Chain A
Amino acid sequence: MTEAGPQPGAQPQPGARPQPGTRPQPGARPQRGTGLSALETDWRTLDARMLLIHPVTEGIRFLPALAAVFIAGRTSDGHDWWQLAAVAAVVVLGVLRWLTTRYRIGNGQIELRKGLLNKQVIATPADRVRTVDVTAPVFHRLLGVAKVEIGTAGGGHRGERIVLDALGAAEARHLREELLHRRGSQPSELPGEVSTWADDGRPPVAAEAGGPEAETTLLVLQPSWVRFAPLTISGFLSGLAVVGFGGQFVSQGFGLRGLRGAEQRVSDTPLWLALTAGAGTVAVAVSVLAVVGYVLSFWGFRLTRHSGGSLHVSRGLLTTRETSIEEARLRGLEVGEPLGLRLAGGGRLQAVTTGLSRRENDRGNAWLVPPAPRAVVERVAAEVVGDPEALSAPLTRHGHAARRRRYVRAVGPALLVSGVAFALTLLRGWPGWVLALAGLTVLASPALAKDRYAGLGHHLTARHLVVSSGSFSRRRDALSRDGIIGWNLRQTLFQRRSGLVTLTATTAAGKQGYHLHDVEQSRAVQVGAEVTPALVEQFLAR
Chain B
Amino acid sequence: MPIGDPGSGQAPPGVVALREPAHLVSPRARVMWFVGGVAQALVLAAAQALWWRVDAEGSRAPHVVLGAAFVVPALAYVVVMPQWRYRVHRWESTPTAVYTQTGWVTQERRIAPVSRIQTVDMTRGPVAQLFRLASVQVTTASAAGPLKIHGLDVDVARRLVDELTTATAAAGGDAT
Contacts and interface: CB of A to CB of B under 8 A. Distances in A.
Interface of A: 17, 20, 153-155, 190-192, 354-355, 358, 396, 459-462, 485-493, 496, 504, 506-509, 511-513, 521-523, 525-526, 528-530, 532-542
Contacts of A17: 173
Given A191-B173, A487-B111, A492-B106, 5 more contacts: A190-B176, A490-B106, A508-B142, A540-B18, A542-B19
Contacts of B172: 20
Interface string B154-176: 00000000000000000011111
A493 B106 CA distance: 6
Interface of B: 1, 3-4, 6-7, 9, 11-12, 15-19, 21, 92, 94, 96-97, 99, 105-113, 116, 140-145, 172-176
A526 B3 contact: yes
Contacts of A485: 112-113, 116, 140-142, 145
Contacts of B140: 485-486, 506, 508
A129 B37 CA distance: 50
A504 B19 contact: no
Given A491-B107, A491-B108, A540-B1, A354 B176 contact: yes
B9 A459 contact: yes
Given A491-B106, A492-B106, A539-B99, A513 B16 contact: no
B107 A513 contact: no
A396 B99 CA distance: 27
B107 A487 contact: no
Nearest to B100: A488
Contacts of B9: 396, 459-461, 530
Contact of A486 (B19, B21, B142): B142
B6 A540 contact: no
Nearest to A393: B9
A501 B21 CA distance: 17
Contact of B111 (A153, A355, A508, A536): A536
Contacts of A530: 3-4, 6-7, 9
12 contacts: A17-B173, A191-B174, A355-B176, A460-B9, A485-B112, A487-B109, A506-B142, A507-B144, A508-B142, A512-B143, A532-B113, A540-B1
Nearest to B108: A490
A528 B11 contact: no
Contacts of A192: 173-174
A165 to B, nearest CB: 28
The 3 closest A-B pairs by CB, nearest first: A513-B144, A506-B145, A508-B141
Nearest to A155: B176
Contacts of B3: 526, 529-530, 533, 537
A460 B6 CA distance: 9
A325 to B, nearest CB: 15
Nearest to B147: A486
A535 B16 contact: no
A537 B112 CA distance: 13
A17 B172 CA distance: 11
- Residue among B6, B11, B172, B176 with the most chain A CB within 10 A? B176
A97 B123 CA distance: 40
A488 B173 CA distance: 23
B125 to A, nearest CB: 24
Contacts of B4: 526, 530
A485 B110 CA distance: 11
A107 to B, nearest CB: 24
Contacts of A535: 96-97, 111, 113
A154 B106 CA distance: 34
B90 to A, nearest CB: 11
A8 B21 CA distance: 48
Nearest to B107: A491
A17 B173 CA distance: 9
A536 B16 CA distance: 11
Contacts of A507: 142, 144
Given A506-B140, A512-B144, A525 B17 contact: yes
A537 B19 CA distance: 10
Nearest to A489: B109
Contacts of A153: 174
Contact of A539 (B11, B19, B106, B141): B19
Contact of B17 (A491, A513, A521): A521
A492 B7 CA distance: 30
B3 to A, nearest CB: 5
Nearest to A541: B19
A526 B16 contact: yes
Contacts of A20: 172
A488 B108 contact: yes
B7 to A, nearest CB: 5
Contacts of A534: 96, 113
- Residue among B21, B111, B112, B113 with the most chain A CB within 10 A? B111
A487 B111 CA distance: 5
Nearest to A355: B176
B102 to A, nearest CB: 10
Contact of A542 (B1, B96, B111, B145): B1
Contacts of B109: 487-490
Nearest to B143: A512
B108 A486 contact: no
Contacts of B112: 485-486, 506
Given A191-B173, A539-B111, A486 B145 contact: yes
B47 to A, nearest CB: 27
A216 to B, nearest CB: 27
A332 to B, nearest CB: 13
- Residue among A511, A532, A536 with the most chain B CB within 10 A? A536
A523 B173 CA distance: 32
